[in-house]
Structure 1
Amino acid sequence: MTHHTLLVAIAAMAVVTAFCRVIPFLLSPKSRLLTLLSSDHPATKIIGPVLLVALAVVTLTEPILGSPNWSTLIPYGVGGLITTVVLRWSGSVGLAVVVAIVGFGLTEYCLSLLVPYSSA
């Protein structure tokens, strides 16, 4: 993932998060949209997991298609597995993402110790 792509992904997540946090203050108290957003409607409960899946697809596509080898696939697979397990266990999207990032980093670090990169 290039720095430009990473910055675009972070900016997109920031805009979506800010929009979700600010919109209730912009709507009138009698707004139908505000009622929907503040209820336990299934459409509002699925937003977090959907954003997580979208983020995973965007993050995984470029490295896996660009370099389909075990040193790439294993860390991303471990990160995806950790995300799934932690999300199922805790129900917290934020916790799942943070723990998965740590797991991804540790897996990549351990692999770099086991299989050093060739200098060729």
Structure 2
Amino acid sequence: MRVAGIGFRAAATVASLLDALERAGGGAELLASASAKADAPVAKALAAELGLVICGFGREALAAQAVLTQSAKVAERFGTGSVAEAAALAAAGPGARLLGPRVVSGDGLATAAIAIGRNE
């Protein structure tokens, strides 16, 4: 399974998130983020537009993932250096791997990372 993890600032739009997903490589079958972000209206709107489910993960699940990007500010708030990377890995399951580090949308308001499951 190909999972897109997303992270974003409060001012992000669906266009911001779509841009980040495109820059990350797209093609996701599932969206994932931190629990609080997955419940945000913009995340729900993105999921609806793409016809995908979005799942949210708590601090403990995000912190358990080995991410490529390290942001101290993000780590303090969410327990991981990258919400997008950690959420993608958590949703893709044990043995999942990232296709690369998270990417940032052109407007700087959203991030995305793609993970694939162990059997991909």
Q: Shorter chain as normaliser: what TM range?
A: under 0.3
Say which structure is richer in helix.
Answer: 1
Q: Normalization by structure 1: what TM-score?
A: 0.28
TM-score by length of structure 2 reads 0.28
